[in-house]
Structure 1
Amino acid sequence: MPSPFDLSGKRALVTGSSRGLGLAMARALAAAGATIVLNARDAVALGAAAQDLAATGAKVNAVAFDVTNRDSINQAINHIEDEIGPIDILVNNAGMQFRSSLEAFPPEKFDQLITTNLTSVFNVSQPVARHMIARGRGKIINTCSLMSGFARASIAPYAASKAAVANLTRGMAVDWAPHGLNVNGIAPGYFATELNQSLVEDPKFNTWLEARTPMGRWGKPDELGGAVVFLASDAATFVNGHILYVDGAFTATA
């Protein structure tokens, strides 16, 4: 019998996938057999990522668009659906971080962060879901965060945005499950990526992280692969509205 984790014949759009966790998840989906559509705003970085992924034997397309611009998104989704093929799997991964004490947090950065991390999930999911609803099937996976359920100094707006993404994920599942869609979230713990580079380079933070995380280390981007393949596959047909924490047991201990 075929493996329930086999994604052959499926097409996955992964936003924010020119590097970091997005590219790692795209690699995992490709290894499971999916055709990948990479996305980022930076066309040069996007092209380099697509070339590297294609060199592994993956089937890859690259479509540059801005997840904060609805006109750009709608044009891109129509292009993918009409010219590349139907989107079976959507991974909303585009995001940003900005650190500052809350009393000094620049209002324009707050607006940018909410638009990039939260509004973009709605912006991209709605047009993709309309196509999926018409077909009666589809998988949407939203990148949440450990901070969906916690808060730390200097990142209150980021934590707020990711908490909202988690509940938007549940709301999408409630609205769209009757139409055959599965909508879930992945909440990574602390992973060593470009987004966390300042923390990776901070000895004090590293000491705290290793002591606070039962596994005693940072996550590696490739360690998200199993979670995204599971949620994208037929192995998760009755998993809906769930937030899957991948955090080295961080949330399991006080």
Structure 2
Amino acid sequence: MDEIIATFRPDLFAGKHVLVSGASSGIGLAMAQGFARLGATVIATGSSAAKLEAEKADPANKGIRFALLDVKDRKAIDAFLGALPALDVLVNAAGIARPEAEFTEETYLEVIDVNLNSAMRLAMAAQPLLARSRGVVINTASMLSYLADESVPAYGASKTGIVGLTRALAHRFGKDGIRVNAIAPGYHKTAMTKALWSDPPAASRIAERSALKRWGTVDDLVGTALFLASPAALFVTAATLPVDGGYVVG
């Protein structure tokens, strides 16, 4: 991540307050680290107390406050956001996938709730604080906002929904100076995709379809998040930026 961070002014987010959901690992954690390294006060939330405790001990997470938050619980979200003194950036990175199991109604609804509904809950709860700071919302879409994977109908539906939600919230919040954008990751090496990137034939097929002939890393998403939250993107809103190495159009 060092090369990415060096691209930006080291105090770019000094004095800014950032909240990242789904940040006990993977993409969310990498984004939290990126903002913290550029001077932001960062709160990283997750649903696993054990994971959060483990990350607290990691020196790479210096400057990040880890907090337990159930993104399915509207009352908990309202109380959590209501206790914050300020907020400049909200990153909605909470997400799950349950291949094959998503064809049962219970699991389908759970995935939709975590991946899509939580972004709406957090954005609405954060809106008053973001209006004061003329802040930023960054949602997490996916290459499956545009492609089909028959094993994850809820994941695909939720990530397609994120694109529409991002556009709607951008227009709803725009009058308050709040910008709302999304990032659409492709195949990045995370715990969620480990079954694929640890299988050489599958990993090779995926890399070959991308324009850059490789898998993404979580660090590949950090620079895009920092850009979208920065003054360099002051007239960018309602956009979903693909960070997939060209996979979708391959």
TM-score calculated relative to the size of structure 1: 0.90
d(CA) in 1 for partners of 2:71, 2:101: 27
How much does 1:203 deviate? 3.3
Segments of 5+ residues of structure 1 without an aligned counterpart are: none
Judge conservation of contact 1:35–1:59 (CA < 8 Å) in 2: yes
1:132-171 residue pairs with structure 2 within 5 A? Answer: 132-133=130-131, 135=132, 137-171=134-168
RMSD: 1.9
Deviation for aligned residue 1:59: 2.2
Q: How does 1:91-106 map to 2 (within 5 A)?
A: 91-100=91-100, 105-106=103-104
- Tell me if the contact between 1:28 and 1:225 (Cα under 8 Å) persists in the aligned partners: yes
Kindly provide the CA deviation profile for residues 191-212 of structure 1, in whole angstroms up to 9, marking residues without a partner as x: 0100111222333421320221
| Contact 1:5/1:235 (8 A) holds in 2 | no
Letter in 1 for 2:238: G
CA distance in 2, matches of 1:137, 1:109: 37
Q: Equivalences for 1:7-156 in 2 at 5 Å?
A: 7-52=13-58, 55-56=59-60, 58-79=62-83, 81=84, 85-100=85-100, 105-133=103-131, 135=132, 137-156=134-153
Which stretches of structure 1, 4 residues or more, deviate above 3 A after TM superposition? Answer: 2-5
> Quick check: 1:16–1:93 contact (8 Å CA) kept in 2?
yes
> Which blocks of at least 5 consecutive residues in structure 2 are unaligned?
1-7
- The 1:143/1:5 distance shift into structure 2, 3 A limit, reads farther
Opposite residue 98 of structure 2, the aligned amino acid is F
| Letter aligned with residue 49 of structure 1 | E
The percent of aligned pairs where both chains have the same amino acid is 35
CA separation in 1, counterparts of 2:61 and 2:158? 36
Q: How does 1:153-232 map to 2 (within 5 A)?
A: 153-232=150-229
TM-score normalised to structure 2 length:
0.91
**1:70 is matched by which residue type in structure 2?**
R
Q: How many residues align?
A: 243
Structure with bigger RCO (C-alpha 8 Å, 6+ apart): 1
